[in-house]
Amino acid sequence: MKNLQKLPLYLFAVLTLGFASCESEDPEKENEGEVITDVILKFQEIDGSNNPVGSSFSFKASDSQGIVVGGAPTIETVTLTRGKRYQMNIEVRNSIENEDITQEIIEEADEHQFFFLGSAFTSNILSISYADPGGKLIGVQTRLTVSSSPGTNNTSMRVVLRHDLNKSFSGASNPNFENFVQAGGESDLDITFPIIIN
């Protein structure tokens, strides 16, 4: 057991090694890949055979960057004309990373779905149907019909994007499905747009 006399030396070596290697890394900037900062509703008037009429127009909802307590997103008021039909396309963006997230949502069609709720639908001012290419029920592309005799000019539309839901849940094929939470999953977006009908 002669070696044991060198023990303190070994211990010291292990110690220096251990303590020297123990330093935290410099922090790095993180690309916020998942944050949605802008949601744009693009409206294109269509005729009876779904052909475009005139030029399109859009309304935007955007978040302040980072967490601001008491802050609220800026949401533009949507203006539509009574009796007309529109094709609505939703564009979802991350302006921090300058990314278009819409494509990701379309690629994961089996995990995502938009639902459209609020007084615009319950008061029969608007009616909506899914019109995504390939017949998928996502809601990135929809068709809206504005009532020709709405009871009021001021209404609102709540747009909810659900992620990881059971799309075959009974009732989930309805874009106005109120009990969407029962289909499981979580909300990635929940925005209420004010609407004025001219």
Q: Which residues bind other proteins (CB under 8 A)?
A: 1, 4, 7, 11, 14-15, 18-19, 21-34, 36-37, 39, 61-63, 65-73, 96, 101, 104-105, 107-108, 162-164, 166, 181-191
- Give the residue with the Cβ less far from other proteins, 46 or 78: 78
For residue 100, the cross-strand partners are: 93
In terms of phi and psi (left: phi > 0; alpha: psi -120 to 50; beta: otherwise), the region of 118 is left
Q: How far is the CB of 113 from other proteins (least distance, A)?
A: 13
- Give the residue with the Cβ less far from other proteins, 25 or 149: 25
CA–CA gap between residue 46 and residue 81 (Å, rounded): 12
Q: How far is the CB of 31 from other proteins (least distance, A)?
A: 6
- Give the residue with the Cβ less far from other proteins, 94 or 141: 94
- Give the residue with the Cβ less far from other proteins, 7 or 196: 7
Q: Which helix (DSSP H) or strand (DSSP E) does residue 10 occupy?
A: helix 7-20
CA–CA gap between residue 139 and residue 22 (Å, rounded): 51
What token pair was written down for 196?
């004025």
Q: How far is the CB of 176 from other proteins (least distance, A)?
A: 17
CA–CA gap between residue 23 and residue 26 (Å, rounded): 9
What token pair was written down for 84?
């007309």
- Give the residue with the Cβ less far from other proteins, 113 or 146: 113
Q: How far is the CB of 55 from other proteins (least distance, A)?
A: 27
Cβ neighbours of residue 25 closer than 8 Å, sequence gap 6 or more: none
